[in-house]
Amino acid sequence: MQAIWQELIRLGECGEPAALCTIVKTQGSTPGKQAMKMLVRADGSFLGTVGGGCLEAEVLEAALEAMATDRPCTLSFALNERDYPDSGLVCGGRLEIYVEPIVEPRLFVFGGGHVSEALTRIASLVGFHVTVADDRPVFASGERHPDAAATLCGPWDEAVEAALEAGPGGLAQRYIVVATRGHQDDEDILRGLAERVGDGPRPRYVGMIGSRAKRATIFKSLTAAGIPAAFLEAVRTPMGLDIGARTHEEIAVSVVAELIQLRRGS
């Protein structure tokens, strides 16, 4: 058991997703006993056991799905030849396994202004690994964003590449906020994201700060440039839940609330 906790700590320090599978209930004769655990890594390798055999194969599949969706689940098994005709299982017991994803969602914020400063602070409090990018050194510094896990200063096209780099959890756990100092920069970033994503996997969330009028203007320009409608329809703008936010901090609260809503499937 100690090896599982040590590996869980190591994965957490590396930012790697995992899923902890625990037998939470047993009835009758079962190969796995209550509280036995199996830790599944993102590559499908695992540590520990919940009973082995075909049961474990199903748990492994569920663990990978839980990491991809960031949602836990409970699996119920009846261990008999009727439900598993090719398994040779004759113990006849029942058990339940709780599959808990352990995922650190990644938020990439374009723009280091006042809203981004508040957004970084609040998002980090609720468990997001936040990177802030800006093309101005003073706005992409650790001093300005002490709660960010990382800051990036450079051209926007380089920041777009960084935002879409494969990392822990892949793009399924990537959230992107576009909140630069100007309409043109926001448009350029959305164009860069769309062109690089293409028909491949997309970030779980792309949001852009601004009004409906700004959305109409930028989307018209991007449509004329050939950006697919499917990509634009997935961009949340105005971003954030409609809570009547006015201040920078209130806007940040509304955006983080939307991120949580999406992450938790509410």
pLDDT in tens, 171-216: 888 999 999 999 999 999 999 999 998 888 889 999 999 999 999 9
- As a whole number of Å, the CA-based R_g of the chain is 22
Taking CA atoms, 252 is separated from 121, 130, 139, in Å, by 9, 13, 17
pLDDT confidence band for 79 (50 / 70 / 90): confident
Structure-token pair, residue 167: 């990392």
| CA pair distance 197, 208, nearest whole angstrom | 17
Class of domain 106-264: alpha beta
For the stretch 44-75, pLDDT in tens is 999 999 987 778 889 999 999 999 888 899 99
pLDDT confidence band for 243 (50 / 70 / 90): very high
Residue 134 has a CB neighbour count (10 Å cut-off) of: 26
* pLDDT at residue number 76: 92
* pLDDT at residue number 264: 86
Calculate mean pLDDT across residues 123-148. 95
Task: CATH 3.40.50.720 in the chain: give the residue spans.
Answer: 106-264
Which SS3 state, helix, strand or coil, does residue 202 take? Answer: coil
pTM reported for the whole predicted model: 0.84
Query: Which of 57-66, 158-167, 179-188, 230-239 has the weakest average pLDDT?
Result: 158-167
CA 48 to chain centre: 25
